[in-house]
Amino acid sequence: MKYSIPILCMALIASVCAAVELTIFANEEYRPVSYKDQHGMASGVASEVIKRHELRTGDKIKLEMSSWRRAYELALKGQGGIIGLSKTKERLSLFDYSEPVYDVIVTVVVKKGKEFPFRSVHDLKGKLVGMTNGASYGAEFNAALEAHLFTADFNYLSAARFKKLLHDRVDCVVFGGGQQGLQQALSSDPELLANQDQFVILEHPLIYDPVYLGFHKSMNMKSFINTFNKTIKEAKYTGILPKTKN
């Protein structure tokens, strides 16, 4: 019995030492996955699952919100993880991935009265398409972009992209987040909110794009990823996260 206190102390020390402290980067304009709320605080699916992981493990995670380009560049340098990352052939050679966190519904949004038939990326031919900097919307879309099937108008601010659409400066906007994400984006700006009935999501989604937590391979974070995968599984089981398709 006299050894119980030292043993308890050693257990506590071991627990503290085992806890992880790290930074995870995220896009501040990727509703409903990751975004800043009206108070400038991190919100969305990514924030919720990270909070769940901290409670489950005792890990301390700083969720740093920025433009997607900056978040991706910092993750490439191995300065932290990145959540909301989709898979591409190039990225698979650079990053270690978690299990899918969330299925993003990538849609095409147009101004009311300017709808057009849309079934595949080829229906964007000749159009001026608003999209975020550095985004990847699947291999077919990326190939069409590189082949100049359409012209991309880049802006990482969703409000800026939708204002261009409202004022007929682009033909459409490619947007990840479905109806829920669109409503959140429009609600963040007074002009867009006042004209929310002017935005229409074309019926056929461009792609269902699963997104992940990733770490540059140089960081050697596979052990952490395995632990985080357990949080993802638990969050889906309890309904905190919707179940993904794969």
One-letter-per-residue 3-state SS of 125-148 = CCCEEEECCCCCCCHHHHHHHHCC
CB 164 within 8 Å of CB 158: no
Residue 227's CB is within 10 A of a number of other CB atoms, namely 16
Confidence (pTM): 0.81
Equal fold, 16-102+210-238 vs 104-208: yes
State the pLDDT at residue 80.
Answer: 98
Domain with residues 16-102+210-238, CATH architecture: 3-Layer(aba) Sandwich (3.40)
CB 15 within 8 Å of CB 168: no
The token pair that represents 222 in the structure block:
């596979």
State the pLDDT at residue 18.
Answer: 55
State the pLDDT at residue 44.
Answer: 93
Residue 59's CB is within 10 A of a number of other CB atoms, namely 18
Q: What angle do CA 39, 160, 120 make, to 5 degrees?
A: 115
Give residue for tokens 């993750």.
75
Instruction: Break the chain into its structural domains and give their ranges.
Output: 16-102+210-238, 104-208
Which of the four CATH numbers 3.40.190.10, 3.40.640.10, 3.40.1410.10, 2.60.40.1180 does domain 104-208 have?
3.40.190.10
CB 109 within 8 Å of CB 162: yes
Q: From first to last of its 246 residues, what are the pLDDT tens digits of the chain? A: 444 555 444 444 444 445 679 999 999 989 889 999 888 899 999 999 999 999 999 999 999 999 999 999 999 999 999 999 999 999 999 999 999 999 999 999 999 999 999 999 999 999 999 998 878 888 899 999 999 999 999 998 899 999 999 999 999 999 988 888 899 899 989 999 999 999 999 999 999 989 999 999 999 999 999 999 999 999 999 988 887 765
